[in-house]
Each structure stands twice: as structure tokens, then as C-alpha cells.
A and B are shown apart, each in its own frame.
Chain A
């Protein structure tokens, strides 16, 4: 009986270790992957892919029209997320982030009323494909 109890305890410890291992994922690690907006402060639809190489791909559709792709780099310090676009322009705001149950809440450090919410979701292929186009007049020297 003692032996059985010992085994059960051991299993519980192992299971507990597993759970605590997940909880130990840093905020940065939890951010990796693809996210889809569920609540924005403007009318639109947004997908973001945060890569382990600390780059991001932002597919945004604000108001009418097609998705537009922005690329750049990002960084997290404690719970503050900041970034820069590839054209050199910094994000307009840094964000305090909170990730829970595949849901990410971003609160602007410039304006606390600017809160956006994302859930973990794959970026649809058609969204990616539509952004693969070079717009001639917007690009130099075509």
C-alpha cells in the first residue's frame, strides 16, 4: 500500500513539475507565434506573427480595402513590448502586454484607453498571398 502511495505521490510530483515547466515560459516565449485581433480601437482586422528571431509581420486591414503587410523587429522588456518597422520608423507606442489562455491584451503606454486584444490563430494563406505584391508607384526604381 505504501508502495502504491509512493508511486501516486511521485506521479503527482512529476505532473506538477510538468505544469510548473509551462508556467515558466517567459513572456517573450509566450509571444512567439501568430495572433489575430479580436478587439481593436479602430475598425479593422489585424494578424501579427512574432518570430523567435525577434522580427514581426503585421497584416493589417483598417477600414476598407486589402490587407497591408508591415515588417520589422520587436523586443520585450519585462512586460513592455516595443518595436520598429523596417523603414526605420518606431512604433507609435510601446505596449504593456498580458498573455493568458491564448489571449493577448496590449495596452498602450501612450494612452491607457487604447487597449487591443488578440487570440492565437494562424494567418490565413489568402491574407499572406494578397500581400506578396509590390505596388509599383509606391516603390522606388521599378
Chain B
């Protein structure tokens, strides 16, 4: 009740004179309460004018909802293919409608009017989403490196012939990149170099990039794109594949409801150059290349002798993962909730098994319930429609890869330094990614705490002599339109943020699915994310003392206490190699019957995580367990009295807000360890 009252108060504050008029006309207070529980959406944030979203009861005529309230039109909020209607109904997506009306009519007024209808279950403002991005980009001046002539990371072992690999500490960090934040640390990377020995991707894995459009002309991306062959070979202006979208050759523009548009960084502001700064501030009103940068981290073509290497970009033989554009930003415009939800439906219906989402809500939301249902203490936030569409994407019935039951969504945690993840990333069924720098310490900008699931390289800008501690990837042209460089497709830029950390995890997930396919294995989404979250590297041990962080909002250095990040960066740092090893399978641990053993398991699971161990009766009897096994400091302590075999389940959870009841929920994970008790065994696991 308290929440409802506060929500009402917020609406009154946010309301216009017309709102007051409606409130005065509305009589009983109890009735107002009922109305307000239906109202969701971000009243204080940006939202579309002349548009609201409603969910109506089953069997109700949509047209009846707008009768007599002065609205122009009501139509389904989403386009659902008949073959997918059953799953859509499961999440009520078939009952969401968009009402359009004169933009002069305050949205709040129309929402309140519609909410009076007892057949309307929910009313949502058509909020605009916010991209998660730092406003710093630095153009890369190419300095091709080879094994024989490394520029900085001396001794690096080139896996592919991509000339800028030596700059990509995020993929392979030898600890020699010059850094003024903290000492560059060898191993502070995504651990992909060794993983490439096993797989470098598979074209059957389609990653939908929810962002501004991927530059389809880029030399390092044009052969990594998801291609809708029917549209590419079809007729312009026609829906050749009858999927409901015209000319969606490489994806679709959900902001402009059109084919994808090019994204150029022509609006870069050289505001800092006068002070000797090489980097540029991004002018988001004109475009940024954000989506192109993100895409390059996941799947820029490896081994093509051009540009950068990527996590899952194949070996240069057309065997990398494929990148689909789900354009939810276009210049200064952002997708509305309805458009964003449509993008999730599109990704699910057109073959994507991973949703790469470097965006989040700008609203302060700290509870799953608030996000999903919309009502929050003093604001009316949340996005039930987006949540329903996200659930549709994740549903096992919409699996888009033979090796995965369900699909996976990865979000950026946010760059607001908040002690919680942004939504939707904070939801317990998606992955939210925090960022660390070249020093293996949290990026000063990163959100942390409840909702955060895992950490990845996000880079950090310090000053213009040290921009190489940011993340290098594919970019778009900063050249003036019409100049030869404009369409060159040869741009590479540095960026920083959880926006950059997020695609590292998407890339590793893509690599994992590729490897599962190679091994002929299949996992549920829960099994797969459990393997991802338990095969991380320990970063907790570094979180002591302070670090200096260059704050781009104040252009000054700030000392940040690292203590606040303890236990709050997710389960640890993502590691591609360890993840692939987990996918391959965890070896049977060997124990000696009649002897208390301390078996090292740190190479299989992150030793810094607290696991709850459980064994069933069959295992307990088979091994003759003397006491309950425990894991301490990465070692399994176990005492078996009999020769036999069994299984131990390790379980844990990440992301839960332990201080707020009903706050951000947890993502649970578990791993199974097989154990064989023998007449003799070593603690180190050696067979002899």
C-alpha cells in the first residue's frame, strides 16, 4: 500500500494541469489506487508523446478500449508470427496494444483515462531506452604489429595475422601495456588466446547486437554479418522472406521502422583537443559507431590480415559467428519500449541465440518486482512489455541453436558508478556484466553490486598518452561526409565502459556454443550459464586499498576505495579457456578411501566463490562419507571410507541484494563434480 501511495504522489508531482483536472474529476480514493496499480512506465524519464501501451484482458475487443476517450487508433504492439503465437501467449505478448493519440494530449491524462477501463490490465508509458556508453572515443592511429616487431606487448604470440592484435590487451594481456591507473597485469584479459586452439567460433551462432547499426561496409565486419539471403537477393522495398520486415538484409532498424541505417561519428566534438587531448568526445546526437565497436569485439573477422582480432571471429575461413543488427539507436533517437520489445521478438524469430545488449534503463530501479510490474516507491518505472519480450526471446521453445535449449541475453551493468546493476541486466535470468581495466581492477565508472553477474575487460581512459588502456575495436568514420575516408570502412577506435565489457561475455558465450556444437553437446540455458559463472577467475584478491580513477564527468582524478567492490563484481572475471574446459566436462576427482583428502579443484571452479555442497544418499553410501565434504580455499576436503564413486553438487548464487527484502533477485548456478574413491590417491589428482 505504501508503494501505491508513493506512486500516486509521484504521478501528481509529475502531472500537468490536465492531470490535475482528471484527478479532480476522479472521485473515490480507492478507485484511484486501482488505477495507479495499472500504470507503469517512467514518468520522469523520456517517453514517446502521443503513444501509450496497454495490456488488455483476454477476449476483449481492442477497439472497445479506446471508445470515447479521444484516441486515434489502437493496434497490436508487436507483430507475432502465427507459428510463434503459442509462446507469445505464454507471456501475454498477444494482449499488448499501442494506442496512438494527438501529441498535444498529455500522455499522463490518456494513461489515466485508459486505466479506468476494467478490461485494461496494465498501462505503460512508451519509455525510451538509454544506451550505456562512456562519452569518450579515441581514434586509433594504425601501428601494425607482428610477432617480430611488437610495439608494446613484447613477446606476444600472434595467433592470427590481424595486425592490431598486439594492442588488444583485453584479449591477451602480457602486463606490459603502459598504464597510469594501476600496473597492467598479465592475465587481466578474456583468456581467449588458448581457447582459440579449440574453436574460434561457428557461423551457426548468431549474435543479435542491440545497438546502433553495425557498419556493414567495415573491412573487418562485412564478412561476419548475419545475412538474410532472401532479402539480399530479393526486391528492394519488398518483404521477400515474408517475415514481416522489409529489406532486413542484415537486421532491422526498430527506431525508424526501416532497413538499418548507417551510423557515422560525424558529430564528434573535439572539445579536448585544444588541451592536447587526442581523444574526442562523442556527440551522441549524430551517431557514434558504438554498435560497430561492440560488434567488433565479438566477431570481427580473424586471420584476414586486417585490423583487429575478435573473440569469436573464426580463423579467416568464414567460420566465425554471425552478427545481426537490431538497431535500437539511430543518431539521437532511441527505441521506445514497444520498438525494443519488437527487436527481441525479431531476434528470436530470425535465428539469434545471443542478445548482446549494451544498454539499460536510466531509471533508478532496485527490485525485480518494480521492473516487471512497474510500481516503485516514489516513481512509476519498469517495463513489463520489454520483460515479456525478453522472456519470449529466452524461452526454450524459441531455441536458435542445436547446442542450447533456450537463448541467452547479456547486458551491460551500467556506467553510473551505482552500487547495483541497471535493468534489465539486473533481472535474475539474464547476465549483467561489470568492467575491469588493464590492471584487473574495477573500472572507476562501472556499476557493481546486486544484479551484477560477471566481470570482463571494459578498459579505462586516463589521459591521452595512455588511451591504450581502453578497448580497441572496429569503428566508424569520423571524417566529414563526402570525403574519401567517409566510407573507407577502415576505422578502428578505442572506447571504454561496461558497454565494451558486455560484448566480451557475449563473445565468450558465442565461443562456448560453438565449442558445444563441435563436441556434439547440448545444454539448457541454466546449465550453460552455470558453467560460465563458475569457470571465472578470481579477482577478489586484488580488491584491497584504493585506485586512482580518471572521472570523465569531472575531468579529474579520484581515489576510489576498492573495498566496496568486494563480492560485488559478479562471480569473477570471464575466462574463455576455463569456460570451454567446463563445457568439455569436469574430470572425475580421485580420493583415497580411508584417508582425509584435500583435493585441489581451483582449476575447475573459481576458488573465491562460496559454494554449498550437497550429496545424495546414493553417493553418501557408495563413498561411505565420514563427514560432509566442504570446499575451502579452492580445495575439496573429503573423507571416504569405501571404494566407490558418486557425485557432489556445488551450488551458489550471484546478484542478490541481501540488504533489501524483495530487492534484486539472484541468479542461481550449480556444477556437478564426479568423484571416485580408490584404494590410493594423491591430493593433486595425479593417477599414479
Asked if B602 contacts A142 (CB within 8 A), the reply is no
B592 interface contact, C-beta 8 A: yes
A138-B584 in contact given A42-B678, A89-B682, A91-B688 (Cβ < 8 Å): no
State which of A13-21, A25-33, A129-137 sits at the interface with chain B: A129-137
Asked if B186 contacts A142 (CB within 8 A), the reply is yes
B577 interface contact, C-beta 8 A: yes
Q: Mark A81-100, 1 if CB is under 8 A from B, else 0.
A: 00101010111110100000
CB within 8 A of A136: which of B537, B584, B586, B676?
B537
Asked if B577 contacts A135 (CB within 8 A), the reply is yes
Asked if B683 contacts A89 (CB within 8 A), the reply is yes
Asked if B590 contacts A62 (CB within 8 A), the reply is yes
Asked if A44 contacts B680 (CB within 8 A), the reply is no
| Interface size class, chain B | 35 or more
A89 to B586, CA, bound (A): 23
CB within 8 A of A63: which of B186, B191, B585, B607?
B585
A18 to B438, CA, bound (A): 64
Query: Chain A nearest CB: distance from B610 CB in Å?
Result: 15
A56 to B219, CA, bound (A): 48
| Interface size class, chain A | 35 or more
Contact residues of A between 111 and 142, Cβ < 8 Å to B: 111, 113-114, 129-130, 132-133, 135-138, 142
Contacts of B1 in A (CB 8 A): none
Contacts of A70 in B (CB 8 A): 684-686, 688
Contacts of B681 in A (CB 8 A): 92
Asked if B603 contacts A135 (CB within 8 A), the reply is yes
Asked if B191 contacts A114 (CB within 8 A), the reply is no
CB within 8 A of B680: which of A46, A68, A110, A130?
A110
Query: Chain B nearest CB: distance from A130 CB in Å?
Result: 7
Asked if A136 contacts B191 (CB within 8 A), the reply is yes
Asked if A42 contacts B688 (CB within 8 A), the reply is no
CB within 8 A of B688: which of A87, A93, A135?
A93
A111 to B594, CA, bound (A): 14
Asked if B603 contacts A89 (CB within 8 A), the reply is no
Asked if A129 contacts B197 (CB within 8 A), the reply is yes
Asked if B581 contacts A137 (CB within 8 A), the reply is no
Contacts of B687 in A (CB 8 A): 40, 42, 44, 46, 58, 60, 62
Asked if A137 contacts B606 (CB within 8 A), the reply is yes
A and B contact pairs by CB, cutoff 8 A, 5 listed:
A41-B678, A43-B588, A83-B688, A90-B682, A137-B607
Contacts of B606 in A (CB 8 A): 137
A83 to B606, CA, bound (A): 30
Contacts of A85 in B (CB 8 A): 682, 684, 686
A66-B581 in contact given A58-B687, A85-B684, A142-B187 (Cβ < 8 Å): yes
B271 interface contact, C-beta 8 A: no
Known: A40-B687, A90-B682, A110-B679. 18 other contacts (CB 8 A): A42-B588, A42-B590, A58-B686, A62-B590, A62-B676, A62-B685, A63-B674, A64-B587, A64-B674, A65-B585, A68-B603, A85-B684, A89-B682, A89-B683, A89-B686, A91-B682, A136-B191, A137-B537
Query: Chain B nearest CB: distance from A6 CB in Å?
Result: 53
Query: Chain A nearest CB: distance from B570 CB in Å?
Result: 14
A55 interface contact, C-beta 8 A: no
A62 to B674, CA, bound (A): 10
A103 interface contact, C-beta 8 A: no
B578 interface contact, C-beta 8 A: yes
Residue of B nearest to A88 (CB): B684
CB within 8 A of B602: which of A90, A111, A138?
A138
Asked if B680 contacts A108 (CB within 8 A), the reply is yes
B666 interface contact, C-beta 8 A: no
A133-B682 in contact given A65-B586, A142-B186 (Cβ < 8 Å): no
A110 to B594, CA, bound (A): 13
Contacts of A133 in B (CB 8 A): 194, 197, 577
Query: Chain A nearest CB: distance from B574 CB in Å?
Result: 11
Contacts of B581 in A (CB 8 A): 65-66, 135
Contacts of A95 in B (CB 8 A): 688
Q: Which residues of A are interface residues toward B (Cβ below 8 A)?
A: 40-44, 46, 58, 60-66, 68, 70, 72, 83, 85, 87, 89-93, 95, 108, 110-111, 113-114, 129-130, 132-133, 135-138, 142
Asked if A137 contacts B603 (CB within 8 A), the reply is yes
Query: Chain A nearest CB: distance from B155 CB in Å?
Result: 15
CB within 8 A of A92: which of B191, B578, B592, B600?
B592
Query: Chain B nearest CB: distance from A115 CB in Å?
Result: 12
Asked if B679 contacts A111 (CB within 8 A), the reply is yes
CB within 8 A of B679: which of A61, A87, A91, A108?
A108
B575 interface contact, C-beta 8 A: yes
Contacts of B674 in A (CB 8 A): 63-64
B538 interface contact, C-beta 8 A: yes
A133 to B579, CA, bound (A): 13
Query: Chain A nearest CB: distance from B645 CB in Å?
Result: 9
Contacts of A46 in B (CB 8 A): 687
A63 to B194, CA, bound (A): 22
Contacts of A93 in B (CB 8 A): 680, 688
Contacts of B590 in A (CB 8 A): 42, 62
A64 to B588, CA, bound (A): 7
Contacts of B584 in A (CB 8 A): 64-66
Contact residues of B between 574 and 615, Cβ < 8 Å to A: 575, 577-578, 581, 584-588, 590, 592, 600, 602-603, 606-607
A60 to B602, CA, bound (A): 17
Query: Chain A nearest CB: distance from B443 CB in Å?
Result: 20
CB within 8 A of A68: which of B187, B634, B685, B688?
B685
Residue of B nearest to A142 (CB): B187
A136 to B577, CA, bound (A): 10
A50 to B194, CA, bound (A): 27
A68-B607 in contact given A58-B688, A108-B680 (Cβ < 8 Å): no
Asked if B575 contacts A136 (CB within 8 A), the reply is yes
Contacts of A132 in B (CB 8 A): 194
Asked if A92 contacts B688 (CB within 8 A), the reply is yes
Most-contacted residue by chain B among A65, A68, A113, A136 (CB, 10 A): A136
Residue of B nearest to A110 (CB): B680
Residue of A nearest to B535 (CB): A137
Most-contacted residue by chain A among B191, B537, B688 (CB, 10 A): B688
Query: Chain B nearest CB: distance from A103 CB in Å?
Result: 18
